[in-house]
Amino acid sequence: MTDGKRGSGERGLHVRVKTAAKRTVSSTRWLERHLNDPYVRRSKMDGYRSRAAYKLIEIDDKLGLLKPGARVVDLGAAPGGWCQIAVERVKSSPDAPIVVGIDYLDMDHIPGVTFLKKDFLDDDAPDQLMAALGGHKPDVVLSDMAAPTTGHRQTDHLRTTHLFEVAIQFALENLAPGGAFLAKVFRGGTENQLLSLLKQDFVTVSHIKPPASRKESPELYVVAKGFRGRGRAGFLSGHRDDAADD
């Protein structure tokens, strides 16, 4: 982490980006905002692969999910910012990794991480993740997955909600008793129903929006702690049946 003096030394710096012939005005504005984001600058100085690393830092500082020795699965791991934080906090060894990440995108190697280049939505992905942990149940399941945006708000919400649902299913089927689940969801109404369902399987369930999450972003993070260990293989189908009855 950077100290206050180092961060304050960057105040006043501002990068302006000219609109290129092949770039829209909106994408130029996004690029300018990205380049001037203090978390982006801090991630480069601190050696983290993405600004998202600070979201996990802020959440874990508050809730203490990542304890030394805990086994961790990171869903949608690329480019690796969350894996980097997990390795640091659970003390995962390069010789005996206890952090496993999965993504269909490439991710450069991180010592202490076993990485699977694979789509988590593939039918055999859960079995491969568990095999990578040597058959041991994870203590923490993380998911910062979000579907590629289409520009249509409702479609983007539904696609990301589906990723949230399958992450829940994996957690319910594989978490160690007492384990924790942390995942991204977009505001839109459905997440409240899913939180109610999660409360059947975890001691505590809550929302959190860390400071590193942009204010204009609809994203929230759901934190579920104290897994009761029952496991529900039919969670997704049951959830959809309940929704259809509403």
Higher pLDDT, 15 or 233: 233
Residues in CB range of 135: below 8 A, 6 or more apart: none
- Rounded average pLDDT over 234-244: 50
**Residue 144 assigned ligand-binding role:** yes
- Rounded average pLDDT over 73-97: 98
Residue 71 burial (CB < 10 Å; 0-12/13-18/19+)? buried
Looking at 5, 118, 184, 199, which residue is catalytic? Answer: 184
Range with the lowest mean pLDDT among 23-27, 97-101, 137-141? 23-27
**Residue 80 assigned ligand-binding role:** yes
| 184 a catalytic residue | yes
End-to-end CA distance of the chain: give it in Å, rounded: 47
Q: Is the pLDDT of residue 184 over 90?
A: yes
Q: Tell me, what amino acid is at 19?
A: T
Buried b / exposed e along 128-138 (16+ C-beta atoms within 10 A): ebbebbeeebb
Q: Is the pLDDT of residue 243 over 60?
A: no
The chain-wide mean pLDDT, for the chain, equals 82
- Rounded average pLDDT over 204-219: 89
**Residue 64 assigned ligand-binding role:** no
Q: What percent of the chain has pLDDT over 70?
A: 76
pLDDT band at 33, cuts 50/70/90? low
The domains located in the chain, with CATH, are 1-8+22-47 (no CATH), 50-245 (3.40.50.150)
**Residue 122 assigned ligand-binding role:** no
Higher pLDDT, 8 or 19: 19
Q: Is the pLDDT of residue 68 over 50?
A: yes
